[in-house]
Amino acid sequence: MSNPELMHPTDELKKEHVSVLELLREITALTATEQLSSATEWVDSFDRACIFLQTDVARHFEKEEKALFPVLAKYVGNQTGPVAVMLQEHEQHQALLSQLCAAVQSRDWGSVRSAWNPFAQLLGLHIMKEDSVLFPMAERLMNAEERTEVHNKMEAINRSIEIPMS
Ligand SMILES: [Fe+2]
């Protein structure tokens, strides 16, 4: 994103949502298979999923929480309303993610399978709300100066060292 005047910072976040939705579809298809096993496919897929969710997706959440939401909160507040709801869902996501990846780490595939659906449902719906409600609202409300501010903060987070969160 080289020209913040032309592109909205939400474009980058929307693009990242596409990768997350792809992962959700891929893993949901895997968990829908009849056989529950510790086959290499499960180990590889879930190890890869947890790394992606704890690094790239954690950074995506950080960009929303530290760059976009504070600016949007100036218009809609952060105690109630859409930003408050999104923050609450981020917390729920973290709790479900920790549960899921702990089960992956201990190769407890029964728990992985039962942790997956609530995790994927929450994250899928959350992304849908951001794409259809929150981001269009941000695009309408934010002025050019605020867009640049959000863009710069997001760039700084992109450049920061990747620290896996669990
Ligand atoms: Fe998001």
Which pLDDT score, from 0 to 100, does residue 163 have?
53
CATH homologous superfamily for the domain 9-159:
nmb1532 protein domain like (1.20.120.520)
Q: What is the pLDDT of residues 50-92, one digit of tens each?
A: 999 999 999 999 999 999 999 999 999 999 999 999 999 999 9
Q: Where are the alpha helices (DSSP H) in the chain?
A: 9-31, 40-54, 56-63, 69-76, 82-105, 109-129, 135-141, 144-159
Which pLDDT score, from 0 to 100, does residue 5 have?
55
The rounded Å distance from CA 36 to ligand 1 centre is: 31
The rounded Å distance from CA 130 to ligand 1 centre is: 6
Which pLDDT score, from 0 to 100, does residue 1 have?
45
Residues of the chain falling short of pLDDT 70: 1-6, 34-38, 161-166
The rounded Å distance from CA 113 to ligand 1 centre is: 24
Q: Give 112-120's long-range contacts (Cβ < 8 A, gap of 24+).
A: 112/31, 112/42, 112/46, 113/31, 113/36, 116/27, 116/28, 116/31, 117/28, 117/31, 119/93, 120/24, 120/27, 120/28
The rounded Å distance from CA 70 to ligand 1 centre is: 14
Q: What is the pLDDT of residues 86-95, one digit of tens each?
A: 999 999 999 9
What's the Cα-to-Cα distance from 50 to each of 66, 73, 105, 147, rounded to whole Å? 22, 30, 9, 31
Residue boundaries of the structural domains of the chain: 9-159
| Gyration radius of the chain over CA positions | 17
The rounded Å distance from CA 124 to ligand 1 centre is: 10
Cβ pair 68, 10 in contact under 8 A: yes
The rounded Å distance from CA 99 to ligand 1 centre is: 20
